Amino acid sequence: MSNIIKAHTDTEGYMDRFIVIIVLLTIGVSNAMAKDLPASCMAISDQVNTPSEMSVTVTNNCGECAVGTVNTFLDGSALNFAGNLTLQPNQSSRQTVPLNKGFGTYQIKVLSVKSCS
């Protein structure tokens, strides 16, 4: 009888170790997921206006690869569905919007930023 109890105790010990391993793997995977970064780490500069379009330069100053959610606004209302812009550290991208949606103030904004990993 004591052999059966001992075997049962050993099995529980292995299960406890197995559960700990699963928990550690889960924590490791969730830590490897993309983290939020401040939207301000993607800077907007060099605005150029022509009669038909507006353009700006978006620069990644986040210190790591980053994915910014970018959208265009007219008088504060979103014109499009937000798109993602992936930039490496210190990389820039020119974003252009046609001024054909009406009169008003056009803006290109970075709404949120996440790390690439």
pLDDT digits (tens, 9 = 90+) for 6-32: 444 455 555 555 554 554 444 444 445
Contact partners, residue 76, CB within 8 Å, separation at least 6: none
The predicted-structure confidence for 50-87, as pLDDT tens digits, reads as follows 999 999 999 999 999 999 999 999 999 999 888 999 99
User: Which residue has tokens 């990993």?
Assistant: 117
Torsion (CA) 88, 80, 54, 115 in degrees, nearest 10: -10
pTM higher than 0.85 for the full model? no
Residue 21, SS3? helix
Contact partners, residue 80, CB within 8 Å, separation at least 6: 71, 72
